[in-house]
Structure 1
Amino acid sequence: MLKLPYSRMLPVLFVLLAIFGLTGCNEEAKEKVMAQQAMALESGDECHLCGMLITRFPGPKGQVFERGIKQNMKFCSTRDMFAYALDPEHKHNIQSVFVHDMAVNPWEKPTDETYIDGRKAWFVIGSSKKGAMGPTLASFKTQEDAEAFAKEFGGELKRFDELTLDII
Structure 2
Amino acid sequence: MNLSFVVRTGLIMAFVVALAACSGSEETAQAKPEPVHFESGDECHVCGMVITRFPGPKGESISGKEQQVRKFCSTKDMFSWVLQPENVNRDHVLYVHDMAGTEWDKPDDAALIDAREAFYVVGSERTGAMGPTLASFAEESAAEAFASEFGGEVVAFADVTMEHLSSGGGMSSGMGGSHSM
> Greater shift after overlay, 78-87 or 23-32?
23-32
What SS class does the counterpart of residue 167 from structure 1 fall into?
Answer: helix
State the partner residue of 1:108. Answer: 105
| Alignment map for 1:50-129 (pairs within 5 Å) | 50-129=47-126
Unaligned regions of 5+ residues in structure 1, if any?
none
Question: Residues of 1 paired with 2:164 and 2:54: CA distance?
Answer: 22
Instruction: With the length of structure 1 as denominator, give the TM-score of the two structures.
Output: 0.84
Unaligned regions of 5+ residues in structure 2, if any?
166-181
The 1:104/1:20 distance shift into structure 2, 3 A limit, reads: closer
Question: Residues of 2 paired with 1:51 and 1:94: CA distance?
Answer: 23
Calculate percent identity across the aligned residue pairs: 44
Which of 130, 148, 153 is residue 151 of structure 1 equivalent to?
Answer: 148
What SS class does the counterpart of residue 14 from structure 1 fall into?
Answer: helix
Question: Residues of 1 paired with 2:109 and 2:14: CA distance?
Answer: 45
| Number of equivalent positions | 164
Which of 26, 42, 47 is residue 44 of structure 2 equivalent to?
Answer: 47
Question: Residues of 2 paired with 1:157 and 1:26: CA distance?
Answer: 33
Question: Residues of 1 paired with 2:146 and 2:80: CA distance?
Answer: 23
Say if 1:67 and 1:95, in contact at 8 Å, map to a contact too.
Answer: yes
Q: Does the alignment pair 1:11 with 2:10? A: yes
Q: Does the alignment pair 1:162 with 2:159? A: yes
Question: Residues of 2 paired with 1:166 and 1:100: CA distance?
Answer: 22
> Greater shift after overlay, 61-70 or 21-30?
21-30
- Give the letter for the 1:14 counterpart: M
> Greater shift after overlay, 79-88 or 147-156?
147-156
What SS class does the counterpart of residue 62 from structure 2 fall into?
Answer: strand
State the partner residue of 2:31. Answer: 32
What SS class does the counterpart of residue 45 from structure 2 fall into?
Answer: coil
Question: Residues of 2 paired with 1:120 and 1:49: CA distance?
Answer: 23
